[in-house]
């Protein structure tokens, strides 16, 4: 990468993100939320799978709604219109 300004901007952000990922330890909530949850995930994400995503059900008393998209970890950038529509529909129905 031959763009010093980009490196100067993104390097601290990425370092902080990686440090957070390395140090994160799940802490269960004292009580589950009483609200529905919508969870988005990708079929080819090497960081998480459908079983792991389904574990969000433990965090709420209501049901979770899973939405699977083709793609990898950054799938959202390929589905911005669809995800925007999903958010709009979800908020309108609540």
pLDDT digits 0-9 by tens, 65-91: 999 999 998 999 999 999 999 999 999
Q: Where are the domains of the chain?
A: 4-92
Q: What is the pTM of this model?
A: 0.73
> pLDDT tens digits for 20-57?
989 999 888 899 999 999 999 999 998 888 999 999 99
Class of the CATH domain delimited by 4-92: alpha beta
Paired tokens of 31: 């009580």
Residue 1 has pLDDT above 60, yes or no: no
pLDDT at 37: 94
> DSSP label at 46?
T
How long a stretch of residues is the chain?
A: 94
Higher pLDDT, 62 or 73: 62
Name the nearest CA neighbour of 86 among 63, 69, 61, 62: 69
Yes or no: say if 66 and 53 are a contact pair by the CB < 8 Å rule. yes
């Amino acid at each position: 990468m031959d763009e010093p300004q980009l490196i100067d901007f993104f390097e601290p952000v990425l370092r902080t993100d990686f440090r957070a990922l390395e140090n994160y330890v799940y802490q269960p909530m004292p009580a589950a939320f009483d609200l529905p949850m919508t969870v988005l995930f990708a079929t080819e994400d090497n960081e998480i799978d459908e079983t792991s995503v389904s574990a969000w059900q433990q965090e709420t008393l209501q049901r979770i709604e899973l939405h699977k998209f083709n793609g990898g970890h950054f799938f959202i950038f390929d589905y911005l219109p669809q995800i925007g529509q999903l958010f709009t529909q979800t908020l309108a129905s609540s």
